Amino acid sequence: MIELRALHKTFEKGSEPVEAVRDIDLAIEQGSIVSLIGPSGCGKSTLLHMIAGLYEPTQGMVVYNGKPVVSVNTAVGYMTQKDNLFPWRTVQDNVALPFELAGQPREERRRSAREILKRVGLTGFETRYPSELSGGMRKRASLARMLLYRPETFLLDEPFAALDAQLKLAMHDLLLRLWAADRQTILLVTHDLVEAITLSDRVIVLTQRPARVVLDQPVDLPRPRDVLTVRFTERFKEIYDSLWERLRLEYEEERL
């Protein structure tokens, strides 16, 4: 359970303070998938940073499983917009890093790394370096790292943005299947409304900066969902329309 209580974040950049997050109250149930959607630069990443304990809130607090988050929250795995791969490590050693930190023997952790790399379609690239991969491949390697070490909560900041349509669907399917087995809590930042509805139990619409919650839409589509067909159901369309109606207002404001 992740609780955000009256959360504020203001950055002191130079002389002018920038308010990124304003008064957010949210509770995210254990084992649910929740998407955050909103205009670019609205403070979604700031929110994830606070949940991970990398930013300190200006006011309010983040409570994780009943305990206030005061320093780095090692219960969460955080996939930021940057892939955060180590340029001097091969892909497999990047993916196996969390196991290396845990002291697992080299051959064992490499074997599991190769297995997960196969599932994200990176077979044949295990011993390459990140600089030899395309942006989408690096994203997948970064995702593989998180899927491999299975923290109890995933924070995903636009994890699939750099992927083409087919690959995106394959990754959605992989994520849902792994989630069905492990039931992690997943908090996902995305710009893709279809992706948000396909994956989530709830979609939360945020305003432009400073981010506030304007709509908290439950997604009551039955699970397991077929990522290929769920988007063509009647219920999906209704949810999409109700979200889009609210989101449009935010985007229109942005356009002005």
Partner 1 sequence: MSSTGGLASSAARIEIAQRPRNRPYAEMSSGRMLLCQTGVGIAILAAWQLVSGRLLDNFFISNPVDVGLRLWAWSVSGYIFVHLWVTFYETMAGFVFGSLIGVLLGIWLGVAVFTSRLLNPFLFGFYALPKIALAPLFVLWFGLGMESKIALSTIIVFFLVFFNTYAGVREVDVDLINSVRLMKGTRLHLLRLVIVPSSMGWIFAGLKISVPYALIGAIVGELIASNRGLGFLVQFAGAEFDTTGVFAVLIVIGLLAIGLNFVVDITQRRLERWKIVSH
CB of 230 to partner 1, least distance (A): 32
Query: What is the distance between the alpha carbons of residues 99 and 112, in angstroms, rounded to a whole number?
Result: 10
Asked if residue 101 binds partner 1 (CB under 8 A), the reply is: yes
For 93-128, give the DSSP string. HHHTHHHHHTT--HHHHHHHHHHHHHHTT-TT-TTS
Cis peptide before 210 (omega within 30 of 0): yes
Q: What is the DSSP letter of 58?
A: S
**CB contact burial 16-46 (16+ within 10 A = b; e otherwise):** eeeebbbebebebeeebbbbbbbbeebbbbb
Determine the interface stretch with partner 1 among 62-70, 86-94, 118-126, 198-206 (rule: CB under 8 A): 86-94
Number of residues located near partner 1, criterion CB under 8 A: 22
Dihedral in degrees, nearest 10, Cα atoms 192, 193, 194, 197: 130
Asked if residue 77 binds partner 1 (CB under 8 A), the reply is: yes
Asked if residue 251 binds partner 1 (CB under 8 A), the reply is: no
Beta bridge partners of 157: 189
Determine the interface stretch with partner 1 among 35-43, 79-87, 166-174, 190-198 (rule: CB under 8 A): 79-87
Convert residues 57-76 into a mask of x (bound to partner 1 by CB under 8 A) and - (unbound): ---------------xxx-x
Query: What is the distance between the alpha carbons of residues 62 and 6, in angstroms, rounded to a whole number?
Result: 9
Q: Considering only residues 112, 129, 162, 231, which one is a binding residue for partner 1 as defined by CB under 8 A?
A: 129
Q: Considering only residues 20, 37, 110, 149, which one is a binding residue for partner 1 as defined by CB under 8 A?
A: 149
- 82 vs 235 by CB, closer to partner 1: 82
CB of 139 to partner 1, least distance (A): 14
Convert residues 25-54 into a mask of x (bound to partner 1 by CB under 8 A) and - (unbound): ---------------------------x-x
Phi, psi of 12 (to 5 degrees): -95, 85
- Strand-pair category, 33-37 with 76-79: unpaired
Q: Which residues bind partner 1 (CB under 8 A)?
A: 52, 54, 72-74, 76-78, 80, 82, 84, 86-88, 97-98, 100-102, 129, 131, 149
